[in-house]
Amino acid sequence: MIRELRADDRSSITRLVRATQNFSEAEIAIAEELIDIVIERPDQKDYYAYVALAGDRIAGFLLLGPTPATTGTYDMYWIAVHPEFQGQGVAQALDEYAVHFVRERGGYLIIAETSSQPSYERTRAFYIKQQYQLLAQIGDYYKPGDDLIIYGKRV
């Protein structure tokens, strides 16, 4: 089941993001900042957050929103699955939810950014499996030897 993020989900999402062991403290702080915006400003229209449940546990997390100054492009800011639930279709279900979300709002393109580091190989393989296309790679974007890889999916 996928539902909107609630205020009492915040600590579980932080634990989930940490458990992946893929994100830096700075990235985790950004996730928390965006979650706080969703929780504290329910009328804002920049960020939307959802959780995938496995029983009563949060198995996955999705945060997306319209790309500023575009008419139908959406950024997938976060899609993460707790390691205990990886390989069980949680990320695929969240991606399908994102596609439905974007289509419902008249959108046509989802953009996802990731890193070229070996620890993100599974992430890159996921995007390709979900029929995202490699749009760009910017060398040394995050730091020397760590490229920004941008994927896009027309919906």
Q: What is the pLDDT of residues 31-75, one digit of tens each?
A: 999 999 999 999 999 999 999 999 999 999 999 999 999 999 999
Chain segment 140-149, per-residue pLDDT in tens: 999 999 999 9
Under 8 Å between Cβ of 153 and 130: yes
The domains found in the chain, sorted by start residue, are 2-154 (3.40.630.30)
| Residue spans of beta strands (DSSP E) within 46-145 | 48-54, 57-66, 73-81, 109-115, 133-143
Give the C-alpha separation, 80 to 31, whole Å: 11
Q: If pLDDT is split at 50, 70 and 90, which confidence band does 24 have?
A: confident
**Strands 133-143, 2-4: parallel, antiparallel or unpaired by DSSP?**
unpaired
| Of 61, 93, 62, 81, residue with least CA distance to 20 | 81
Amino acid letter at 76?
Answer: M
